[in-house]
């Protein structure tokens, strides 16, 4: 009878270890998903910071408005004698392994940034108005944080008549 009890105890121990392994695997999956959600929120925040910094650089241009030639110009604008910071510091892309951004440029100037990640986003809807074009995006690289104000801004010169 003692041998029988040892076999039952062993089976009970194996069953307990199997249940514990399944629980740990589920916890790991949930933790990974939560970590990805946090990185996604960080991407949305940092992307908007870059969009605002690019808009500030453009709007505060001495003379004709222009976009930055490189991201470092947002942290220290070389066009002014005193330091002007449109962005407190340069941020890395939280979704890509190397932290590098895909730069969106127009005529050799940076108008926006996007992640290089090809992963499918968790959040696919319920974006604020300035991010409404992110709705239904298939990958994080489709979330483009672009300053769109430059194309519509028009300066009136002395020779033009006001309508």
Q: Where do the structural domains in the chain lie, given as residue ranges?
A: 2-152
pTM for the structure as a whole: 0.76
pLDDT band per the 50, 70, 90 thresholds, residue 163: very low
pLDDT band per the 50, 70, 90 thresholds, residue 159: very low
Beta bridge partners of 104: 112
pLDDT band per the 50, 70, 90 thresholds, residue 152: very low
Cβ(105)–Cβ(114) under 8 Å? no
**Phi (first) and psi of residue 122, to 5 degrees:** -80, -45
pLDDT band per the 50, 70, 90 thresholds, residue 12: confident
Q: Which residue has tokens 């002014």?
A: 80
- The set of residues, in sequence order, having a beta carbon less than 8 Å from that of 64 and lying 6+ positions away, is 155
pLDDT band per the 50, 70, 90 thresholds, residue 4: low
């Amino acid at each position: 009878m003692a041998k029988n009890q040892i076999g039952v105890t062993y089976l009970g121990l194996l069953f307990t270890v199997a249940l514990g392994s399944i629980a740990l695997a589920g916890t790991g999956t949930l933790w990974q998903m939560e970590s990805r959600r946090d990185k996604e929120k960080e991407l949305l925040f940092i992307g908007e910071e870059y969009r605002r910094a690019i808009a500030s650089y453009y709007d505060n241009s001495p003379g004709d408005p222009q976009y930055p030639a490189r991201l470092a110009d947002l942290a220290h604008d070389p066009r002014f004698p005193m330091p002007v910071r449109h962005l407190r510091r340069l941020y890395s892309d939280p979704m890509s392994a190397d932290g590098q951004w895909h730069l969106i440029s127009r005529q050799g100037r940076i108008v926006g940034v996007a992640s290089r990640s090809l992963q499918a986003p968790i959040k696919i809807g319920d974006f604020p108005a300035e991010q409404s074009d992110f709705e239904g995006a298939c990958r994080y690289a489709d979330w483009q944080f672009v300053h769109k104000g430059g194309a519509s801004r028009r300066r009136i010169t002395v020779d033009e008549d006001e309508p």
